[in-house]
Chain A
Amino acid sequence: MGLTDKPRASPEALLALANREGRGRLKIFLGAAPGVGKTYAMLQAARVAAQEGTDVAVGLAETHGRRETELLLEGLRILPRTSVPYRGRMVQEFDLDAALKCRPELILVDEYAHTNAAGSRHPKRWQDIEELLDAGINVWTTLNIQHLESLNDVVQRITRVRVRETVPDANFDKADEIVLVDLPPDELLKRLAEGKVYVQDTAARAVDNFFRPNNLVALRELALRRAAARIDSDLLERMQGGGVEGPWAAGERILVCVGPDETSSMVVRHAKRLADMIGAPFIAVTVEWPSSRFSEKQRHRVTEALQLAESLGADEVKTLVGTDLVDELLRYAKFENVTQIVVGRSRSSWLAELLGRSFPHQLIRAAEDIAIHVVTPVSTERRSVWQGLEWRSLSKKTSLAFLWSAVAVVLAIFVGRVIAAAVPLPNVSMVFLLAVFFSAVQFGIWPAVFASVLSFLGYNFFFIAPFYTLTVARPHELLALFIFLGVAVLSSAVAGRAREQGAAAASRARATRRLFEFARRLSSLAEPQTVADSTVAEVHRDLGLPAVILFPQGDDLVVTAAWPPEDQLGTATMTAARWAFERDEPAGAGTGTLPNVPWYFFPLRASHGRVGVIGIACGGKDGAELDAEERALFETLAELTATALERSQLAREIVVAKSATEAEKVRNTFLASISHDFRTPLASILGSATSLIEYRAKLPDAAKLDLLSQIKDEAEHLDGMVRNLLAMTRVEAGALELRRDWIDVRELLDRIVAFAKRRGAVQGFTVRTEDDLPFAPADQTLLDQAMTNVVGNAVRYGGPDAQIVVEARRVGDDLLISVADDGPGVAPDMLPHIFEKFMRGKDLGMADGGEGAGLGLAIAKGIVEAHGGTISADSHVIDGHGTRVTLRLPLGTGQTL
């Protein structure tokens, strides 16, 4: 089919095709019932394919000992099965890993709907096949129509057999090819009678009437219809993919509302059938109150129904949270442009039904422009009105509530007496009403009922003649009791609801605030490790379950953070974590992959890929499970964390890049300054030399001599620079070797100043030393170099008019040498850096000259420190300007060299 050259191909259809690229093709041999010859047909087709040169392997084929089927296997490559321990015996199962390893072009795996022995990687065989397809291996498999999820209850109704092994419709619909293996019921019955049919499903075998002609006809019709529908949709898809105008879906959208009752799965299946019928997508939702009192069992049912919807190919599966079921549902339906809503009829009492207050009734009343389907259950589980009201043990809190109710009634008696004494009141019972109302609003229904009875007794005892007796003289006196009870029930219901809503709103606000705070906290964390640590702590705090985060390291995942602390996970758990990370889908407890693992793993997805996996311990033997709200919270936390992790990783990369840039900049500065610093003396030498060569005849003798001495000076200058560079390298490498000698400091300073002057320093110099200055134990050459650099620095940055004072004196056991100038000084923010490499006083308006390449003071520091001394600088030392550099060298008195 030419895809590219045809016009107007629907994007969805093309996308679907593109998604299939690189994926193996799935062919399903579909039959109406066991024994129609699916395996036989599949093996026959496989033989043909093998003869045509296809690399076929038989992963698993159930021959059930039938000769003719076994014969077909001959000559085909058969992969060994694996043995899995199951309930004390070994069960032969399909070896998924072996199949993935040998990678045939086409693999046959019988029984698409098979349930794997517990402990296998996937609970279902269709999941094994999914993995094979993902790996790009073509798969052929077989399936009976009754195993198709959406037809499950239809089949049950027809055959009265509950089929437990089912395949999601989505997978069936995704199959690339469906081959219908059809056998008329009569022939099937004949084969059955001949014993040629092996019925694997024990439940089916147990029920004799599964193979009744009527059933077989019905099942066959189902299979035929389903296959025909497949052909229809194939056709439609090709029309769209090929850009052919065709019938398009009418824009219908179905929403199925899942409740906690038994019918929910049925309702979902109904919705799916309806969706298939009109070719519309469907969405499954459930609505939860933050404080909805679903039992464990009910929660489980909701989760199950939602998972069912997902496996049936629901476009979206969502948990809505709200206080009003109907409002929330309709709001969402409107948002999603839903045209039809499917709900089940139940969860409401006969009373509500009678009053038109049942959920379907309310929905129908409130809905606008939406069709409502109400699915009726086969057998309704009627709940009595009392069932919803749970007897709770009399905890301390509840006994207090009863006590307070009693107090309220006593108070009412007292007030009633006072009022009755003061004014003639026709009916004092009003006062008791207040007490009942108070109890109802404050403590709920049971304390209120208790208060009603007490009030009745009190009223009767104190206010109805004959007084101080508990006799009911006239029937209408009983009326008070009923009124009290009525008020108790109604007002406690209203108050309870208000309380519930308030609590819900508060808990929602709390949850939102915590999420917000968590997000804010994460945003302030810079390190991935701290982000991970604070996330696991938060998960543990919010959900009360152990949490763990794993980051990829090398080829594997490593536990990075866990709360409570943990650094090892079991092998199976690690497998689930790896699965979640590699496949970018949840794994472990409550999912289709490794559900036996007591952890639920969720990938941490960032914009450029996965950054890790977060896991939470649930679904283990302790029975802790996440409900929809908790799961949503967990996933939200995971998303926040992934974003924070990505941000911190990016921040880290920026820091690395920045320091690399910084290093690059330093290197460039260094090279530029070195080359410039070498060039100037070289220019002098070259210029002087060429002048002498070319114009020696024309030059006066004095000029010739000057040029020659310039060559000498500049050569010395170059030598000094080379020495500085070498010294710096040695200081850097820590290879500065001291050859100490006794040094006459005065003589040293004079020499340095003379050298500076010879080098063209025009500044005024003063050298001051104490008369009895001792000799200093130092390395002559190195100290010369350090002082040359310090003085050279003063010359360079002091300016031509500066006065430079060089001073040496003894302070304690140290020798202090200072070099001060009265130049412009160093900016305070530059001062701490002047002993760093490549720092130069550019801001001083000097040309980028000087021999130091910004190394002079750094070298001086290195040399002084090698002598065990220190070097420091002060600025603005003389009348707000000038700079002073001070060297402090230990004299080491009493010490020999």
Chain B
Amino acid sequence: MNQTPRVLVVDDETAIHRFLTPALMANDYAVLKAVTGAEALKRIATDAPDIVVLDLGLPDIDGKEVIRRVREWSDVPIVVLSARDREAEKIEALDYGADDFVNKPFGVGELMARLRAALRHRMHRRGETPVARVHGVEIDVARRRVLREGEDVKLTPKEFDLLALLTRHAGKVITHKQILSVVWGPAHEHDTQYLRVYVGQLRQKIEADPSSPAIILTESGVGYRLADTED
């Protein structure tokens, strides 16, 4: 990181800004503020922040709508702040193109980790990583090869597609719908049982302990994420 990343915090609660600002500054972020959806859209357009922290419950425009409009012209990473009981809203936000989410109330450390992952992922997107390494597994997306402790792992084409998708978005939550739509096609968006079967098989093949997975992580009720890769 050659310069101080700038983070835009969008929340209508002053209390949130009050504690997030010093915490972000302590982590070497430059902090921008917005309290409404309209203001957020304006600041993203004019100030071009490196990352956005967005509360879904905004007074004027719905947070999901903000994501939808931003995604029309910007791929700035967006981390959503959401309530635990609004699972559906969260998934929609991810489907609209949010990069990650943090449930309220949250520890600042967790938020910082998510922000780092999102920023890093954005870098990856710019300079494609040919090979990803995570917990002793090497995933070569271009050559369609997976090595575990140096040994070749045999994957079915679908298993590989699934793993490749997660790898390309390493560290980021991919919703069930997104995975199904990319790997199996849009007609299978709701067939989550495929996913459970294939994820189970993949874990058997690549995880050291499939019963407590360290590579393919479950985001309960939302989707899956590949653990942060070791660069």
Contacts and interface: CB of A to CB of B under 8 A. Distances in A.
Interface stretch (B89-97, B106-114, B137-145, B176-184): B106-114
Contact of A683 (B16, B25, B112): B16
A251 interface: no
A707 interface: yes
Contacts of A870: none
Contacts of A659: none
B131 interface: no
Interface stretch (A34-42, A773-781, A782-790, A841-849): A841-849
A683 B104 contact: yes
A319 interface: no
A298 interface: no
Interface string A685-711: 111101100110011100110110010
Contacts of B112: 694
Contacts of A699: 22, 26
Interface string B105-125: 111110010000000000000
Interface stretch (B55-63, B154-162, B164-172, B202-210): B55-63
A682 B25 CA distance: 22
Nearest to B81: A683
A703 B24 CA distance: 12
B57 A847 contact: yes
A714 B15 contact: yes
A679 B106 CA distance: 10
A710 B108 contact: no
Given A675-B85, A683-B105, A714-B15, A848 B57 contact: yes
Nearest to A695: B26
A684 interface: yes
A471 B22 CA distance: 141
Nearest to A675: B85
Interface residues of B, number: 26
A846 B35 CA distance: 11
Interface in B1-42: 12-16, 18-20, 22-23, 25-27
Nearest to A698: B26
Contact of A682 (B18, B85, B105, B109): B105
Given A695-B23, A695-B27, A703-B22, A847 B58 contact: yes
A706 B18 contact: yes
B83 interface: yes
Nearest to B13: A680
Contacts of A681: 15
Interface in A224-238: none
A698 B108 CA distance: 14
Contacts of B15: 680-681, 683-684, 710, 714
A676 interface: yes
Nearest to B58: A847
By CB atoms of chain B within 10 A, which of A676, A691, A760 has the most?
A691
Contacts of B59: 845-847
A688 B19 contact: yes
By CB atoms of chain A within 10 A, which of B12, B19, B26 has the most?
B19
A586 B22 CA distance: 86
A802 B22 CA distance: 30
Contacts of A846: 59
Contact of B19 (A684, A698, A760, A848): A684
Contacts of B22: 691, 695, 699-700, 703-704, 706-707
Q: Name A's interface SS.
A: helix
B109 A679 contact: no
Given A675-B85, A688-B19, A691-B19, A849 B106 contact: no
Contacts of B60: 845
A672 B22 CA distance: 30
B57 A691 contact: no
Contacts of A698: 26-27
Contact of B107 (A672, A690, A703): A690
Nearest to B60: A845
Interface string A759-775: 01000000000000000
Contacts of A691: 19, 22-23, 26, 108
A690 B23 CA distance: 9
B177 to A, nearest CB: 25
Interface in B67-86: 83, 85
B25 to A, nearest CB: 8
A695 B19 contact: no
A22 B104 CA distance: 64
A700 B20 CA distance: 14
Nearest to B14: A760
A686 B26 contact: no
A410 B226 CA distance: 122
A684 B23 CA distance: 12
Contacts of A679: 83, 104-105
A685 B106 CA distance: 10
Contacts of A760: 14
B109 A687 contact: no
Interface in A462-488: none
Contact of B13 (A672, A688, A849): A849
Contacts of A690: 23, 107-109
Contacts of A675: 83, 85
A695 B57 contact: no
B228 to A, nearest CB: 19
A847 B12 contact: yes
Nearest to A700: B22
B13 A695 contact: no
Nearest to B15: A684
B193 to A, nearest CB: 30
A531 to B, nearest CB: 46
A871 to B, nearest CB: 28
B160 to A, nearest CB: 39
By CB atoms of chain A within 10 A, which of B13, B18, B59, B106 has the most?
B18
Interface string A838-862: 0000000111110000000000000
B83 A687 contact: no
Given A695-B23, A707-B22, A849-B13, A686 B58 contact: no
A690 B104 CA distance: 13
A687 B106 contact: yes
Contacts of A714: 15
Nearest to B112: A694
B12 A684 contact: no
Given A682-B105, A695-B108, A687 B27 contact: no
A687 B19 contact: yes
Contacts of B107: 686-687, 690
A68 B83 CA distance: 94
B83 A676 contact: yes
A710 B59 CA distance: 23
B16 to A, nearest CB: 6
Nearest to B55: A847
A672 B112 CA distance: 28
B176 to A, nearest CB: 25
Interface in B174-231: none
Given A848-B57, A849-B13, A686 B85 contact: no
Contacts of A845: 59-60
Contacts of B106: 683, 686-687
Given A680-B15, A687-B108, A710-B15, 5 more contacts: A683-B104, A687-B106, A690-B109, A695-B22, A695-B108
In the A-B complex, the 10 residue pairs with the closest CB atoms: A683-B105, A703-B22, A698-B26, A691-B23, A695-B26, A684-B15, A690-B107, A847-B59, A688-B19, A690-B108
18 contacts: A676-B57, A676-B83, A680-B15, A683-B104, A684-B18, A686-B105, A687-B19, A687-B105, A687-B107, A691-B22, A691-B108, A695-B23, A698-B26, A698-B27, A707-B18, A710-B15, A845-B59, A846-B59
